[in-house]
């Protein structure tokens, strides 16, 4: 497999103006008639037409109605001798068949639960018909679907339904058709069709700008009672994009369709979003608060793509962050703007940063590190990463920080004025934001700012303060650096916006002469604060104003001050995390560390109690502060990682916090457990989250003390809970503390929800992700894979067991006997034959193997080498394991 390079981009030799597709839908053999009108691109030297295709059976090719000569070369359909440019547009008709029922990759046209679905991004359209399957070729689509009426009563495609009815003639008994016209030009990756037995929740809306629209959420019959929240989220999304950015819905009809077989979260096909059921279906009996929040943000995300992605799309796949980074930023802002209280906004920000630091920072430090705008790839599906998405969103967020909220909205306006209907680059976006804000720091620093797009790796900012008591002067020295990443040995300094303030020793915010935002551009800066009465405590990178690692040598006393008083809630939380981190790292570094050893001191425990009992802090915020840094985050702070030591230390810390705060946890549980009628809003879900953490801690404490009261209460709660969040939290508390009541609770849970696929996913994931005790998780995982409800072909189910173990349970996965890695290699190979995209995600679980201590390191390398040695690997998995072994 050859690498594709960004610098090799060439405009297409042909444009496709119109596409008229006719499908005869049949699971075994679907017939696709593709009639296109093409013309030569006058800006490119005349050459053959090369159309992409994959796993297609070609029956006929006609040019202007005549049989034409063609050849198949490297999977492409090649046509020479096409009409010359002067002859204008020409017609090309291609007739192919494909086999949707055999499509286990879930790319292109496939069957799920007896219905047809498509997934075309990035390069799936070529599995439907021969095409110029690249995002800069935008065409007008007309689509006719023909199918059996009983099996496929609903026939959907992009745009507007213009005709439908029964099919006439012999062989068409009980068959019907529907014809759809998309009024907007689009790249092939946004094509979609759906056919099957589905029902819809419908909502008519009138937008602020006066348009009437029909919103629909399609699901399988029986799931309609779980569509209200998705519909509410969609209505909120439409309203938000109009209010915040002046971007209206540009379609008469906007559809969301849910399928239980889907490779990722959802897909923004024009007017016909296709979603993983996980991000559509919810009611209080089956979905947790987290599910509700995820649905809101994914529905928003896909809807916002309608402008950022669809109206303005990517020139090539290296520009993926143009739409993904920007749209993640937009969905994050949307969720924040829906929060009634500022404290809830801060909670959302902390959650987003936690994802960035536990998933993206490791990626940026590992073998798959790549710039937000990558320079090369073998398989584009491997570059739908946390770097392109989440770090990309941080880059957009920094632009907003540098030009202000209104300036950013003005930049977006200019972006659409310039580029509506075009396929463009990340440079075009940054230029528009800068040009709309000519006096801004962004405009002044644009070329340097764009290093965020070209340089991989997480920058490190070192901060050191110097106090001159005599002069009343505090000097802050900020130094930036960035470690080498694959292919990039040296890095130039980044533009780093550092939001900052100073606190007095009593915790009061100090008024200073310095602005609240300092923009780093050099390797080193000094900021001088004059006229201070006493040494201040600096609060740096407030709100996490840049995606960097901040190294700063705080004393415990300073961190305690920040935790108690910082006016910036992000840094308040961060101070608590730093206090915990410091203690964890000390214990991890202690070679004599033994289970049950004390890790936490009274000062730390008292500070945590203060937060927990605080009269004014939100429950959601308390839950975040009282949650210890994850094992993955701890591992990232170390050069050599002993996963078992990290696991033991973190477990010891959890147990100690459980026992030391016993009465406080009891108070917290009793105080927050009752919420009245269920509402998934941030305030009441925060209360449930804190009650859930308290219950988990109480069950953990009971484990050591032998107390049976709290496990009994947890079991009762599990049985009586009025919503899935409370029920699942109670179940998790029993499972995580390995109490004997866990087994009957799990059994009961399964019996209650045996017909709810998404709930069964939780049941599997909980067990595969539970804290390891003497290596008990791997055998349990192997048992789960033999369960009648397990199905490797269903991505959600495969992820719920295999990913929950390999990616989300380091203590269970990294075994001294290497059995976890052997299991991993077997599953990667097994999954690769079914679904390379899912397999390649799993393959990433060993990205950080080089950091592992022995015996893990050698065993991990052997497992990777075993996968790499397999002859017929997909490009997807081969690229990941090759880079890992490099
Ligand atoms: N754009 C899709 C992701 C497609 C992934 C292809 N491997 C979903 C999203 O980001 O909204
Ligand atoms: Zn997206």
pLDDT by residue (tens digit) across 595-644?
888 999 999 999 999 999 999 999 999 999 999 999 999 999 999 999 99
Alpha carbon distance 502, 571 (integer Å): 12
Query: In the 8-state DSSP scheme, what is residue 308?
Result: B
* 721 Cβ contact partners less than 8 Å away, ≥ 6 residues apart: 727, 730
pLDDT score at 210: 76
pLDDT band with cut points at 50, 70 and 90 for residue 208: confident
pLDDT score at 542: 98
Q: Which of 268, 298, 317 to mutate to test the pocket of ligand 1 (most atoms within 8 A of CB)?
A: 268
Alpha carbon distance 15, 137 (integer Å): 6
Which residues carry out catalysis?
302
Ligand 1 atom at minimum distance from 268 CA = 11
pLDDT in tens, 684-706: 999 999 999 999 999 999 999 99
Ligand 1 atom at minimum distance from 122 CA = 6
What's the CA-to-centroid distance between 267 and ligand 1, angstroms?
5
pLDDT in tens, 28-59: 999 999 999 999 999 999 999 999 999 999 99
pLDDT score at 568: 98
Is 393 in a helix, a strand, or coil?
helix
Crossing angle of helices 569-588/619-626, nearest 10°? 20
> In this structure, are residues 217 and 280 in contact, taking their beta carbons and an 8 Å threshold?
yes
Measured CA to CA in angstroms, residue 643 lies from 292, 354, 445, 646, 647 at distances of: 33, 20, 42, 5, 6
Domains of the chain: 4-197 (2.60.40.1730), 313-454 (1.10.390.10), 460-553 (2.60.40.1840), 753-886 (1.25.50.10)
Kindly report the protein residue whose alpha carbon is nearest to atom 5 of ligand 1. Answer: 121
Ligand 1 atom at minimum distance from 389 CA = 10
Ligand 1: list residues with CB < 6 Å: 121-122, 264, 266-268, 301-302, 305, 324, 381, 384
Nearest to 133 by CA among 58, 53, 210: 53
Alpha carbon distance 380, 384 (integer Å): 7
> What average pLDDT does this structure show over 767-793?
98
Helix residue ranges, H only, 338-375:
342-355, 361-365
What's the CA-to-centroid distance between 177 and ligand 2, angstroms?
31
Alpha carbon distance 129, 143 (integer Å): 13
Alpha carbon distance 196, 199 (integer Å): 9
Kindly report the protein residue whose alpha carbon is nearest to atom 9 of ligand 1. Answer: 267
DSSP state string for 758-792:
HHHHHHHHHHHTSPPSTT-HHHHHHHHHHSTT--T
Please give the backbone phi and psi of residue 864, each rounded to the nearest 5 degrees, phi first.
-60, -45
* 237 Cβ contact partners less than 8 Å away, ≥ 6 residues apart: 299, 300, 303, 304, 334
Place of tokens 């067991």: 801
Kindly report the protein residue whose alpha carbon is nearest to atom 4 of ligand 1. Answer: 121
pLDDT score at 158: 98
> What are the residues facing 147 on neighbouring strands?
176
What's the CA-to-centroid distance between 194 and ligand 2, angstroms?
20
Kindly report the protein residue whose alpha carbon is nearest to atom 7 of ligand 1. Answer: 381
Secondary element (H or E) of residue 683: helix 682-705
Place of tokens 């000519």: 438
ipTM: 0.99
Q: Does residue 728 come out as left (phi exceeding 0), alpha (psi in the -120 to 50 range) or beta?
A: alpha
Alpha carbon distance 734, 716 (integer Å): 11
What's the CA-to-centroid distance between 62 and ligand 1, angstroms?
34
pLDDT score at 505: 87
What's the CA-to-centroid distance between 117 and ligand 1, angstroms?
15
Q: Which residues of 353-369 are buried (b: 16+ CB within 10 A; e: fewer)?
A: bbebbbbbbbbbbbbbb
Ligand nearest to the CA of residue 120, numbered in listed order: 1
Structure tokens at 802: 């295999």
Place of tokens 């484990």: 703
């Amino acid at each position: 497999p050859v690498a594709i390079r960004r610098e090799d981009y060439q405009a297409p030799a042909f444009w496709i103006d119109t596409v008229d597709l006719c499908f005869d839908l049949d699971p075994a053999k679907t017939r696709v008639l593709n009639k296109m009108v093409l013309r030569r691109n006058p800006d490119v030297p005349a050459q053959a037409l090369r159309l992409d295709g994959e796993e297609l059976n070609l029956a006929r090719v006609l040019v202007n109605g005549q049989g034409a000569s063609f050849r198949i070369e490297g999977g492409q359909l090649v046509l020479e001798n096409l009409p010359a440019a002067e002859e204008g547009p020409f017609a090309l008709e291609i007739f192919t068949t494909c086999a949707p029922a055999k499509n286990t990759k879930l790319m292109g046209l496939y069957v799920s639960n007896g219905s047809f679905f498509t997934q075309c991004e990035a390069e799936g359209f070529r599995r439907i018909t021969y095409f110029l399957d690249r995002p800069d070729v935008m065409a007008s689509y007309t689509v006719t679907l023909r199918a059996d009426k009983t099996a496929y009563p609903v026939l959907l495609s992009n745009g507007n339904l213009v005709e439908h009815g029964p099919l006439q003639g012999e062989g068409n008994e009980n068959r019907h058709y529907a014809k759809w016209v998309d009024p907007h030009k689009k790249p092939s990756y946004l094509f979609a069709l759906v056919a099957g037995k589905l029902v819809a929740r419908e909502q008519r809306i009138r937008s602020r700008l006066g348009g009437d629209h029909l919103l629909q959420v399609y699901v399988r019959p029986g799931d309609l009672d779980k569509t209200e929240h998705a519909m509410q989220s969609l209505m909120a999304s439409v309203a938000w994009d109009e209010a915040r950015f002046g971007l209206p819905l540009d379609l008469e009809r906007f559809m969301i369709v849910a399928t239980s077989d889907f490779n990722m979260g959802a897909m923004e096909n024009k007017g016909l979003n296709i979603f993983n059921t996980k991000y559509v279906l919810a009611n209080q009996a089956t979905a947790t608060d987290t599910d509700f929040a995820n649905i809101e943000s994914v529905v928003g995300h896909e809807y916002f793509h309608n402008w950022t992605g669809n109206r303005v799309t990517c020139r090539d796949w290296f520009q993926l962050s143009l739409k993904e980074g920007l749209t993640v930023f937009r969905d994050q802002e949307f969720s924040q703007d829906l929060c009634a209280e500022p404290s809830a906004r801060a909670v959302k920000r902390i959650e987003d940063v936690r994802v960035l630091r536990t998933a993206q920072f490791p990626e940026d430090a590992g073998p798959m590190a790549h710039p937000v705008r990558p320079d090369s790839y073998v398989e584009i599906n491997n570059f739908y990463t946390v770097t392109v998405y989440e770090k990309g969103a941080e880059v957009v967020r920094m632009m907003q920080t540098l030009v202000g909220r209104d300036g950013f909205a003005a930049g977006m306006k200019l972006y659409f004025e310039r580029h509506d209907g075009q396929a463009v680059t990340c440079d075009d976006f940054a230029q528009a934001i800068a040009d709309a804000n000519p006096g801004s720091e962004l405009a002044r620093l644009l070329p340097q700012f764009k290093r965020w797009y070209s340089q991989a790796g997480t920058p490190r900012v070192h901060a050191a303060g110097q106090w001159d008591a005599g002069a009343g002067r505090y000097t802050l020295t900020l130094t930036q650096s960035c470690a080498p990443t694959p292919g990039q040995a040296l890095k130039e300094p980044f533009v780093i916006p550092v939001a900052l303030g100073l606190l007095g020793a009593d915790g009061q915010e100090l008024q200073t002469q310095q602005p609240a935002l300092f923009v780093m551009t050099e390797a080193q800066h000094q900021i001088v604060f004059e006229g201070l009465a006493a040494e201040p405590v600096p609060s740096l990178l407030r709100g996490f104003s840049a995606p960097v690692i901040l190294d700063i040598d705080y004393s415990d006393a300073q961190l305690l001050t920040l935790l108690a008083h910082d006016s910036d809630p992000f840094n308040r939380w961060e101070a608590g995390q730093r206090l915990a981190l410091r203690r964890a790292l000390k214990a991890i570094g202690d070679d004599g560390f033994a289970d049950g050893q004390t890790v936490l001191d009274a000062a730390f425990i008292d500070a945590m109690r203060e937060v927990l009992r605080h009269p004014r802090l939100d429950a959601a915020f308390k839950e975040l502060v009282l949650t210890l840094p994850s094992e993955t985050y701890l591992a990232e702070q170390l050069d050599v990682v002993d996963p078992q030591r990290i696991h033991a230390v973190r477990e010891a810390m959890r147990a100690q916090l459980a026992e030391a705060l016993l009465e406080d946890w009891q108070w917290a549980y009793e105080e927050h457990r009752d919420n009245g009628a269920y509402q998934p809003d941030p305030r009441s879900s925060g209360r449930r989250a804190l009650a859930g953490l308290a219950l988990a801690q109480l069950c953990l404490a009971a484990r050591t003390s032998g107390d049976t009261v709290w496990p009994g209460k947890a079991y009762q709660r599990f049985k009586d809970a009025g919503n899935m969040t409370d029920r699942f939290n109670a179940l998790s508390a029993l499972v995580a503390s390995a109490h004997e009541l866990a087994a009957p609770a799990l059994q009961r849970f399964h019996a209650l929800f045996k017909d709810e696929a998404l709930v069964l996913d939780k049941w599997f994931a909980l067990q595969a992700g539970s804290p390891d005790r003497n290596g008990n998780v791997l055998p349990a995982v192997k048992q789960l894979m033999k369960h009648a409800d397990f199905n490797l072909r269903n991505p959600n189910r495969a992820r719920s067991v295999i990913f929950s173990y390999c990616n989300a349970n380091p203590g269970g996965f990294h075994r001294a006997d290497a059995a976890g890695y052997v299991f991993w290699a077997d599953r990667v190979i097994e999954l690769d034959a079914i679904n390379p995209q899912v397999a390649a995600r799993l393959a990433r679980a060993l990205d950080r193997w080089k950091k592992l201590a022995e015996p893990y390191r050698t065993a991990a390398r052997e497992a990777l080498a075993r996968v790499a040695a397999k002859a017929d690997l997909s490009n997807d998995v081969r690229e990941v394991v090759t880079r890992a072994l490099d």
